[in-house]
């Protein structure tokens, strides 16, 4: 009997408000773009590996965040087969008489949804959870340890030859962790249940806070204005161009969060219930996050900022 350790990478829609996502979201939340796996024999010796990029046929444009995390580029996917063919290659490589394992339940749930969408009726073998087995061995079944945390606990050092967040390399590291388990067949006690991936319940990613300034001029040169926080993750965002006066009591800028993309930042001068003048800062995540849209918005905004500055000089 052989053990196969599988890992996946997948793409996501550029916007959860796009017409494509509204049409497919409940049936295809994420689209697999890489299948990676390592094969081990009964003694847990590595005897083979599998690495296959998948060309997305639905969410065709690679999300910038996915590209940053995985290192996968659009060019890597252009000549790759679509899911049905890529998955068939993986099935052929697995052969027969094997135990399929992953680290956690996310991969199998995404794989199941892609199989249901692209290869209707294809059976999927039982999949077993190495993450849960590690928790049992480590004496912590309540918390789910990440792969890096498990490697650190077991003294496994990462290598520059195997970058994280590449499916085949993450499968390799998972296999190294698996090799340290005292009883590999114990994983058969941790069969995974496939969870349904439903449509994401979106909310307005907007955050408003009050700055300690009584004029827009003071607020505009402050750090909170120049380095606003992303309303999703709280990280500092970069403002490439600057602010434009939209009205006597409001200025706006475009900002970029390294993880979540384009933001709209507004500074608004207003009075509170006690007639105190204050500046409120609002950060809103853009609904549209395609690279072309972001580039166009920044080009347009750069022209607005330049025109506003020229107008100030001429006044």
Task: Say how far apart CA 268 and CA 251 lie, in whole Å.
Answer: 7
| Domain contains 124 | yes
Please tell me whether residues 80 and 11 are part of one structural domain: yes
pTM over 0.75: no
Q: What is the pLDDT of residue 289?
A: 81
Our count of domains for the chain comes to 2
Number of alpha carbons in the 13 Å side-chain half-sphere of residue 52: 22
Residue with tokens 């395609």: 290
Q: How confident is the model at residue 198 (pLDDT cuts 50, 70, 90)?
A: low
In a domain, 197, yes or no: no
pLDDT tens sequence across 57-88: 999 999 988 998 899 999 999 999 999 999 99
240 and 290: one domain?
yes
pLDDT at position 282, please? 92
Q: What average pLDDT does the structure give for the chain?
A: 90
**Tokens 């199941």 belong to which residue?**
112
173 lies in the same domain as 26 = yes
- The DSSP line for 118-138 is HSTT-----EEEHHHHHHHHH
What percent of the chain is helix, strand and coil (3-state, nearest 5)? 35, 25, 40
Q: Do 178 and 217 lie in a common domain?
A: no
- In this structure, are 156 and 102 located in the same domain? yes
Q: What's the pLDDT score for residue 194?
A: 81
Domain that holds residue 80: 2-189
Instruction: Please report the pLDDT score of residue 199 as a whole number.
Output: 53
Express each pLDDT in 242-281 by its tens digit. Answer: 999 988 889 999 999 988 899 999 999 987 667 788 899 9
Residue 105 and residue 222 in one domain = no
Indicate if the pLDDT at residue 201 is higher than 60.
no
Query: Would residue 201 count as lying in a domain?
Result: no
Decide if 58 contacts 24 (C-beta within 8 A): yes
Residue 94 has pLDDT above 70, yes or no: yes
Residue 33 located in a structural domain: yes
Q: Is the pLDDT of residue 204 over 50?
A: no
225 in a domain, yes or no? yes
Using alpha carbons only, how large is the chain's radius of gyration in Å? Answer: 25
Structure confidence at residue 230 (pLDDT): 92
């Amino acid at each position: 009997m052989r053990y196969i350790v599988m890992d996946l990478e997948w793409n996501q829609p550029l916007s959860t408000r796009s017409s494509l996502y509204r049409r497919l979201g409940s049936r295809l939340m994420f689209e697999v773009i890489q299948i990676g796996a390592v094969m081990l024999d009964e003694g847990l010796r590595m005897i083979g590996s599998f690495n296959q990029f998948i060309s997305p046929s639905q969410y065709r444009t690679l999300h910038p965040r996915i590209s940053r995390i995985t290192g996968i580029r659009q060019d890597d996917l252009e000549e790759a087969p679509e899911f049905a063919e890529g998955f068939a290659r993986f099935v052929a490589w697995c052969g027969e008489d094997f135990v399929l394992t992953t680290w956690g339940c996310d991969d199998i749930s995404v794989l199941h949804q892609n199989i249901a969408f692209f290869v209707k009726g294809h059976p999927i073998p039982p999949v077993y959870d190495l993450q849960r087995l590690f928790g049992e061995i480590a004496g912590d079944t309540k918390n789910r340890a990440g792969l890096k945390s498990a490697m650190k606990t077991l003294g496994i050092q990462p290598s520059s030859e195997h970058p994280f967040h590449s499916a085949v390399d993450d499968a390799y590291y998972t296999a190294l962790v698996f090799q340290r388990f005292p009883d590999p067949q114990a994983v058969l006690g941790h069969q995974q249940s496939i969870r349904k991936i439903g449509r994401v319940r979106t909310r307005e990613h907007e955050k408003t806070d009050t700055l300690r300034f009584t004029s827009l001029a003071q607020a505009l040169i402050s750090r909170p204005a120049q380095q606003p926080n992303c309303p999703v993750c709280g990280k500092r965002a970069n403002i490439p161009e600057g602010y434009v006066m939209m009205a006597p009591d409001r200025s706006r800028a475009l900002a970029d969060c390294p993880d979540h993309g384009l933001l709209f930042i507004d500074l608004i001068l207003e009075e509170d219930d006690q007639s105190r003048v204050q500046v409120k800062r609002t950060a809103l995540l853009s609904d549209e996050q395609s690279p072309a849209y972001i580039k166009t918005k920044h080009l347009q905004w750069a022209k607005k900022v330049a025109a506003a500055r020229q107008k100030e000089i001429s006044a």
